Chains A and B, each alone.
Chain A
């Protein structure tokens, strides 16, 4: 047990994780607890506002402000698991902090619901928190099970790093390093592949499925060609594109990947000695057979 008692956050799950990414949530909660990070469940969190932005930017902004206000009221910063939630909440925070007129307008709208936005809550992605606040050295010390035989391809996704001006220079969107270091801290190898920064296509899945799946296919091709044991990612929507839709890409294009897709906290947790059950591997649709075999023996 490593004492990190000063790290305390409101856990913001968003829409997708608590229904379609329960394995991500299970692993994140278990890993955080073992590392001494206190996660608080805040009643009343709703969608971050991302899907409302195309309809009306004010609605998207207010939905984000409402969630931020709920965390503020409890004196907590926000910890996110979904990258789109991360950028939506972070951007709203930036805009409302910088623009007093907009802030006053937002508070007028929120007043009827009994909320006030002050701008006191910080927003952090789980992976960034691990990298910056826990640190790779501490993670390495927490590892008890060797994953040295496994090589994973990192997928950073888009909103974890971009737009970069929201993230105060954290990591480099063109050549990111943080997830690589985290994979290494868990004791596994990092596998390089073509076009690592490419988007999953999730943003257009609902508008043009064929094109979205074609975007996802490229990464599945590249990661498979590189011979990785799995794709490691940190966003539930990326997982939907690469894992939940992997079969559909396979049948549409008559290819076979069977590429395991794992959330980073799952591999970290396995390396920390948690069981496959505790890390929700049962919920991974493409079974990471190599990992399962190695950890069961």
Chain B
């Protein structure tokens, strides 16, 4: 491979505390246990069909301190949360929980994928991912199913509280 084709990483930009930041986030506690055996990647249904997602590589990048590259990436959103690696990991790294911890940090940094934003808007508006209003309840009645009342106000309150917590945290760090 010629030098032009190599992606040279600038190690001076690494954040050596990124692993601690992840370990402090619920779900990320076990990140330092990873010894890069790749059991997660070998059994991963997503990694099995695309090179875009490679859990071993993401954990390695995080341990190296590649904070921006990880948080701004699309790949942290490609864990299907199937728990295959969770069951098999010899170091109990709890990878789906770890990915969720990284996602939570990414969101705090403003990296919110359009799909997540749309889902949260649905939850705020309807308390659920699919709205159930008159039309849906009429359809349910046609099939002999009871009506469902949407309960959005309390879900909205929970999401707002979470948002406030995130803002508070972000402000405290600044």
Contacts and interface: CB of A to CB of B under 8 A. Distances in A.
Interface of A: 13-16, 18-20, 22, 25-26, 29, 41, 43-47, 51-59, 62-63, 66, 109, 112-113, 158-159, 162-164, 173-174, 197-199, 201-204, 206-208, 211-212, 214-215, 218, 280, 283
Nearest to A95: B26
A64 to B, nearest CB: 10
Contacts, number: 171
Given A66-B155, A199-B84, 19 more contacts: A19-B132, A26-B143, A26-B144, A29-B145, A51-B116, A53-B100, A54-B77, A54-B100, A54-B107, A54-B116, A55-B116, A55-B159, A56-B107, A57-B26, A159-B83, A197-B84, A201-B80, A203-B80, A211-B46
Contacts of A45: 151
Contact of A113 (B52, B118, B157): B157
Contact of A55 (B107, B136, B155): B107
A51 B130 CA distance: 12
A158 to B, nearest CB: 4
A47 B128 contact: yes
A125 B146 CA distance: 21
Given A22-B145, A208-B78, A211-B46, A55 B162 contact: yes
Interface stretch (B54-62, B64-72, B119-127): B119-127
A163 B87 contact: yes
A174 B46 contact: no
Contacts of A18: 130, 132, 136, 140, 145, 148
B11 interface: no
B161 interface: yes
Contacts of A113: 154, 157
Q: Which 10 A-B pairs have the closest CB atoms?
A: A203-B80, A162-B83, A59-B162, A206-B115, A199-B82, A46-B127, A15-B129, A19-B130, A56-B162, A158-B82
Contact of A162 (B50, B87, B149): B87
Contacts of A211: 46, 49-50, 52-53, 78
A41 B146 contact: yes
10 contacts: A18-B140, A54-B77, A54-B103, A56-B162, A58-B161, A109-B161, A203-B82, A204-B78, A206-B116, A207-B113
B42 interface: no
Nearest to A44: B151
A208 B83 contact: no
B157 to A, nearest CB: 7
B92 to A, nearest CB: 10
Interface of B: 26-27, 45-46, 48-50, 52-53, 74, 77-84, 86-87, 100-101, 103-104, 107, 112-113, 115-116, 118-120, 123, 127-132, 136, 139-140, 143-146, 148-152, 154-155, 157-159, 161-163, 165-166
Given A55-B107, A113-B157, A201 B87 contact: no
- Most chain A CB within 10 A, of B45, B83, B116, is at B45
Given A203-B79, A214-B49, A54 B104 contact: yes
Contacts of B80: 158, 199, 201-204, 212, 215
Contacts of B129: 15-16, 47, 51
Contacts of A199: 45, 80, 82, 84
A246 B50 CA distance: 20
A51 B123 contact: yes
Given A13-B148, A51-B129, A199-B82, A215 B49 contact: yes
A218 B45 CA distance: 10
B87 A164 contact: yes
Contacts of A57: 26-27, 100-101, 104
- Most chain A CB within 10 A, of B131, B144, B154, B165, is at B154
A85 to B, nearest CB: 11
A56 B104 contact: yes
A59 B158 CA distance: 6
Contact of B46 (A41, A162, A215): A215
A238 to B, nearest CB: 11
- Most chain A CB within 10 A, of B100, B150, B152, is at B100
- Most chain B CB within 10 A, of A13, A16, A208, is at A208
A201 B2 CA distance: 37
